[in-house]
Structure 1
Amino acid sequence: MTITNMTIGELTYWNDWWKTEEFPQDDANIRDWSLSAFKWKPRLSKTIEDKEVIYVLRGPRRVGKTTLLKLRIKRLLEEGIPSENIFYFPCDAIETPKQLMTIIDNYLTQKRRQGEWAYLFIDEVSMLIEWQKAIKLLIDAGRFRDCTVILTGSHSIDLRKGSESLSGRRGKIEKLKYGTPDKILLPAKFSEYIETLDPKLANELRKLWLLSLKNRRAMLLQLANGIIPHELERLALFTKELELLLDQYMLTGGIAQATHQYVSKRKIAEGTYATFVNLMVRDICRWKHHENYARQILRRIFEALSSLISWNDLRKGTDIRDSKTAESYVNVLKDSFVVAYYYMLNVEKTSPDYISNKKIYFQDPFIFHACRGWVYGKKAFDLSLNFMSSPENKSKLAECLVGNHLSRFMFNLYPSSLFDPSNYVFYWKSKKREVDFTIRLNNKFLPIEVKYSDNIQKDDARGIYDFMKTDRSHEFGIITSRNRLEVGKRYVVVPLSILLLLA
């Protein structure tokens, strides 16, 4: 439904509660959520406060941003907020920022109860080129006084640049308990996956205080000193259950629809993968990049997964002529939340070595499998089962998970609208050896080597030993395993599932 000029009556199409005083029972998003085997309630929703603030919520396609908004609207109505003070609008119904400004102004003038608090939910605002112009004009006119506004979108760079242009105009952000008004909704973390699917294990996590960022950080520091926290010893009793859930997570990722389908039918529909890929390709083309080049770059990323690669090497075997173009395609994929990349740590400067080779990883297992099916022109679910049958392949996907979860952990430690994981999560390499990841904790770096096997040998720690010679390392490093939890010689072996719960 595309409209160029609309009345309040026409806006009721998206705001049925103005007529009924309750959230519509036939809403597709909430109906699907209610019937789902994966009723995920993102922790992020608790960090959005009812303040006079303009929030910007970013996240990949199909992650559940619209469902999050509608669950919030439903809760507000159930709490007795007057229906006229709640406004929802999807920006795929219009074409210009001017239309958006007119629609919001009409709502605030004609429908909102004057003098009362209002909640505005503007969905997929990044569909509109230069959307921030409309928002800025409304802010400068004082139209968002006594309003909580949430803007959502699926492209990181567009929303980030747009929100940066609103700097100083985001409302009373100094009153926020949870810091930044810029939020990122990523697919469910492994801990959220467990919380949603396994109440018994979720209760165990709560009892062990593993949902507390402060406590998880303290446990990582204990591991960095060669001490296994008693909470992890308790959690190790559940490694078989955790391993089963992790194997499933490696297929479905944290995408609600895919998880529901797999839990219900032990299969993910090809249409679910296709929908994600089609939306991803649409975003790529919107940013004036070519579908065919994107497919070729993704193929090269799959071929180089978990290896070091330069932009120039990445373009080899493709029709792309120069390294700058290859880099731009990776950045479009990064800004669409498909991949992330990491630099080598410059130990002396304790910062990224930008001229070093990169490591490129996928942000989520479902996204990984969806892109792989598209790139190789095969059924994604069948391809995913085949991929997961190889221990070597599982180890590569495990690296993707660790990189993603470490990035999210560091963001939670240092929340900022300017956060870039490549400034907080690194790999390290000597002349002969390499460490998969390292993060800074208490002015020292914690080296982490990713394995998905219980056959951990002393040779697996050689990269960690080399890193310790830099004098920038904690006393102990971490090597992940399938199920082993033990202290080795200057390293601690931790099950991959448990490390993901700590991050």
Structure 2
Amino acid sequence: MDNSEINQCLIIGEFARPCVLPHLNNLKDVPFVFKQDFGLDPLPTEPGLIIIRGPRQYGKSTWLEGQIALTIKQFGAGSALYLNCDEISDYLHLINEIKILNELFSTTAIVKRLFIDEITAIPDWEKAIKRLIDGNELKNTLLVTTGSKATDLRRGIERLPGRKGKLNRTNYIFTPISYAEFLEKCGQVFKTDSLMAYILSGGSPVAINALASTGRIPEYISTIATDWIFGEFAASGRSRAHLISVLQSLYRMAGTPIGQAKLARESGLANNTTAQGYIDLLIDLMAVIPSFHYDNERGISLFRKPCKYHFINLNVALSCHPKKPRSIDALKMLGEDLGVIFEWTVAQEIWRRICIKGEGDLPEHLNFWQSKEHEIDFVLPEENRFIEVKSGSFNPVNFTWFLTNFQHHKLTVINKNHFDTARIIGITLEDFLLSS
């Protein structure tokens, strides 16, 4: 169905008709349906603008269709309408379509919501929204938009000041499902392999259901993730071969601080600027995040020093991984590579929690601490927390150096052992993922 046909059904409240909300309808055929908790529950009844961004394959379209159905159930036929931007040519076309739809809401609807899927497909989409809001044409409508680029969220924030209504919060990142939700819904299927299954799936509902049904991540699932990344780079005029080379360098030097000059050399790129362009787009796609050296004495991140690059989208990380792990057994056989994958798992979880809290802007970097002899993988200044990630078994004696370097702080060591001293605490990766 196209936009017009879908809205003809929504106007009369027939959202359950086949093909009207296809993603929602498909949930009847999957083993597990997960609650998507990304900080927005429930939708506000007030008018305004909500901007939701997130990676592909995490269920944004399914969530959006679910909210359309819920809106009509709560507020009646004609209270929710839909616009898929794949059918929109430019921002002027977008303005025209929104104007038309805004006239089609039921006159009896006390809540009016227009859901716009993948608005980032339209260049300069924010111009359309700005013009409509400035013209007072959306004063009674809640606009809910989704997209797949973090840079687009930032641009929308910057270019739409004071135009998002009176909502307490308007910007959201659609995050992977939590490990707690994963365990609750399908822990009995994976049992002792639950942690590995979660990591392999990256918290993607599509990948989890495929893994639960077939025992592996089908190649078409991985291809969707890689095609999305490669497609965005192609659309930006960047080379597929250069992207592959950059990704190979990130895998090869994972967990190690690397400067732009070295990244360019290792990837065979012309210069630092070119390398930075590839990294910036990976960051905008919410695939990786830089982690900078933290100066604990001054309480600042040292942006001029070499930084680490953590994958915060495990689905993309393992789909593009040179060893292509597609089953739990294959993931376990990665050997030493598992250590850095555990580190990425922690990075993804830290990023996920920051996004859900929504305190301040989108998280643009993490921090680590390093001296000539020692290193701490994650420093969370706002929580006064230090986290070290190990894949093996350790005990507090291995970290006595921390006690002399940090007089008033505590260290959490994620490893295979539990221990609890005054300032050094040992927990497992599962413990960390399940902690609040």
**TM-score normalised according to structure 2 size:** 0.92
Query: Residue 107 of structure 1: CA displacement?
Result: 1.3
How far apart are residue 151 of structure 1 and its match? 0.8
Which of 12, 20, 28 is the matching residue for 2:5? 12
Q: Secondary structure at the match of 1:135?
A: helix
Q: Are 1:304 and 2:246 matched, yes or no?
A: no
Counterparts in 2 of 1:162 and 1:101: CA distance versus 1, 3 Å: same
Whether the 8 Å CA contact 1:479–1:493 is kept in 2: the answer is yes
Q: 1:485 to 1:421 in 2, by over 3 A?
A: farther
Q: Contact 1:116–1:146 (CA<8 Å) still a contact in 2?
A: no
**Structure-2 change in CA distance of 1:15 and 1:337 (3 Å):** farther
Q: Aligned partners of 2:246 and 2:128: how far apart in 1?
A: 36
Residues 128-166 of structure 1 deviation map (CA, whole Å, 9 limit, x = unaligned): 110011111110111111221111110111232023201
Asked if structure 1 preserves the Cα contact closer than 8 Å seen for 2:292 and 2:305, the reply is yes
Name the residue aligned to 1:456.
394
Q: Determine if the alignment matches structure 1 residue 492 to structure 2 residue 416.
A: no
1:438 CA displacement: 1.4
- Which of 326, 336, 351 does residue 407 from structure 1 map onto? 351
Task: Report the 3-state secondary structure (helix = DSSP H, G, I; strand = E; otherwise coil) of the residue aligned with 1:103.
Answer: helix
1:105 corresponds in structure 2 to 99
Q: Which residue of 1 aligns with 2:85?
A: 91
Residue identity opposite 1:146 in structure 2:
N
After TM superposition, where is structure 1 displaced by more than 6 Å over at least 4 residues in a row? none
Q: Contact (CA 8 Å) 2:386, 2:412: kept in 1 or not?
A: yes
Shift of 1:95: 1.4
Give the structure 2 partner of residue 381 of structure 1.
326
Q: Distance in 1 between matches of 2:355 and 2:125?
A: 26
Cα RMSD of the aligned pairs, angstroms, is 2.5
Preserved CA contact (<8 Å) 1:52 1:148: yes
One-letter amino acid of the counterpart of residue 402, structure 2: I
Question: Could you tell me how far apart the structure 2 residues matched to 1:463 and 1:389 are?
Answer: 32
8 A contact 2:151–2:284 mirrored in 1:
yes
Post-superposition CA distance 1:110-135 (Å, at most 9, x none): 44427742111001000011001111
From the superposition, tell whether residues 409 and 62 of structure 1 become closer, same or farther in structure 2 (CA, over 3 Å): closer
Aligned partners of 1:97 and 1:131 also within 8 Å: yes
Instruction: Classify 1:48/1:160 alpha carbon distance in 2 versus 1 (closer, same or farther; 3 Å).
Output: farther
Q: Residue 103 of structure 2: SS of its match in structure 1?
A: helix
Closer, same or farther: CA 344–142 of 1 in aligned 2, 3 Å: same
- 1:449/1:466 Cα in 2 relative to 1: closer, same or farther (>3 Å)? farther
If the length of structure 1 is used for normalisation, what is the TM-score? Answer: 0.80
Distance in 1, Cα, partners of 2:404 & 2:263? 28
Mapped partners of 2:13, 2:330: distance in 1 = 50
User: Which residue is 1:269 aligned to?
Assistant: 218
Q: Tell me if the contact between 1:447 and 1:464 (Cα under 8 Å) persists in the aligned partners.
A: no
Question: CA 1:47/1:306 → structure 2, altered by over 3 Å: closer, same or farther?
Answer: farther
Superposed displacement of residue 93, structure 1:
0.8
Kept in 2, the 8 Å contact 1:17–1:24? The answer is no
Give the letter aligned to residue 352 of structure 2.
R
1:152 corresponds in structure 2 to: 146
After TM superposition, the structure 1 stretch with the greater mean CA deviation from structure 2, 484-493 or 330-339, is 484-493
Deviation per CA, 1:44-97: give whole Å up to 9, x if none: 341532222200000001211110000111112222x23222111110111101
Q: Is the Cα contact below 8 Å between 1:407 and 1:421 reproduced in 2?
A: no
Counterpart CA distance in 2 for 1:348 and 1:379 is 42
| 3-state DSSP of counterpart to 1:438 | strand
The answer to whether structure 1 residue 187 and structure 2 residue 176 are counterparts is yes
Distance in 2 between residues matched to 1:460 and 1:413, nearest whole Å? 34
Kindly report which structure 2 residues correspond to 1:434-445, keeping only aligned pairs within 5 A, or say none: 434-441=375-382, 445=384
Secondary structure at 2:78's aligned position in 1? helix
Q: In structure 2, do the counterparts of structure 1 residues 363 and 385 end up closer, same or farther at CA, with 3 Å as the change threshold?
A: farther
Cα shift at 1:465: 3.5
Deviation at 1:17, TM superposition (A): 2.6
Distance 1:364 1:297 in 2: 16
Q: Paired residue for 2:369? A: 428
Aligned equivalents of 2:364, 2:403: Cα separation in 1: 25
Determine the C-alpha separation between the residues in 1 that align with 2:54 and 2:121: 13
Distance 2:378 2:82 in 1: 42
Structure 1 residues 412 and 268: alpha-carbon distance in aligned structure 2, compared to 1, 3 A threshold: closer
> Could you tell me how far apart the structure 2 residues matched to 1:50 and 1:280 are?
35
Which whole-Å CA distance do the structure 1 matches of 2:105 and 2:170 have between them?
26
| Number of corresponding residues | 434
Instruction: For residue 163 of structure 2, give the secondary structure of its aligned residue in structure 1.
Output: coil
Q: Does 1:57 align with 2:52?
A: yes
Q: Which residue of 262, 283, 286 corresponds with 2:235?
A: 286
Give the equivalent residue in structure 2 for 1:250: 199
The separation in 2 between residues aligned to 1:249 and 1:265, in whole angstroms, is: 15
- What is the CA distance between 1:352 and its match in structure 2? 0.9
C-alpha displacement of 1:399? 0.4
Q: Report the alpha carbon displacement of residue 462 of structure 1 after superposing the two structures with TM.
A: 5.0
Per-residue CA distance 1:252-299 (angstroms, 9 max, x = gap): 111111100111111221111111211221112223322221111111
Say whether residues 1:419 and 2:354 are aligned partners: no
Work out the CA distance in 2 between the residues paired with 1:489 and 1:85: 56
Q: CA deviation at 1:12?
A: 2.6
Partner of 1:446: 385
